[in-house]
Amino acid sequence: MSEIVDVLFEEKGHAGLIILNRAKALNALSHEMVVAMHAKLERWLIDDAIHHVIIKSNSEKAFCAGGDIRQVALNGPEKVDESLPFFADEYRLNVYMESYAKPLIALIDGIVMGGGVGISVHGAYRVGSEKTMFAMPETAIGFFPDVGGSHFLPNMPQYTGMYCAMTGERLRQADCYWTGILTHAVHSQDMLALEDALCSAEDVEPVLARYAFDPGPAPLHVKADVVEECFGAESTLEIVGQLKQLLGSDHDDFAAAALETISKRSPLSVEVAFQQVRRGAGLAMKDCMIMEHRIVSQILLGKDFYEGVRAVIIDKDHAPKWQHESLDVIKTVDVEAHFMPPKGGDLVF
């Protein structure tokens, strides 16, 4: 077992198990958890007894609800130098997992958001139950869909990744399977048996195939054409314009909900997220994470992240006062600052 009680490590059969053990915080990732996971993965990589690695949760509600950003926000812009190492190490872990030479299997039986997506979606196998609820809701707190969002969101079909990045849309099992966030759908009641079978197996694919099932039609697939029509536009203002054109049409409910959501998000975060997803398409994982490190280095110097965390997580009044009133008042120079090398230099792996 690990000395870091918020994340436990076991070796069982042919598998190494990473067990997220911070249930009261919905397994929100701390800096210590990130460092411990990276170190254990490095050791297991050279251990011939470990054929594959399983990542699971001890929480009945969540796989992992994200990174522990409360302390980052409390540090404020004056202590960016203290906050950035957490993100740097988290992003290094994401890159390491994406290129890990042994199969990584995430067993997702609940909420998976933000940092939780980062420690699952980049692995070879993402197995989700009917309790799976995915979201990248960062624009609601003045942040951006990091932990490799710029790598996997552009690969989701028909601009559904852009839609999720800008709106924080919540996806359930069938949607996650259709978009590729999940590689396999299983029943929640079968998760423990699947885990045992994976630990006993040398080859995981037949085991996963035995427990997997077709989760059925994806609600997001039904509206994918209209998502593509709107969120495939060349700018955020064009996306808003496309949505407004759908008001009063057969797609009125979708358009109205998307417009209302975007209007409540940090305009600067929405613009940065849009640019991030567009620029990430086609980039290698490391290049995406260098870009995301640039973004977070600038975000932590601004105002919206701290205001967003205050409004949503600390005071919970859900009434943030964003730096910009709307998308159309944002200057290009303010956005481009997020894509320039930071003062401390680019992320090094």
User: Hey, which residues are catalytic here?
Assistant: 67, 115, 138, 146
Cα 226 from Cα 217, distance rounded (Å) = 17
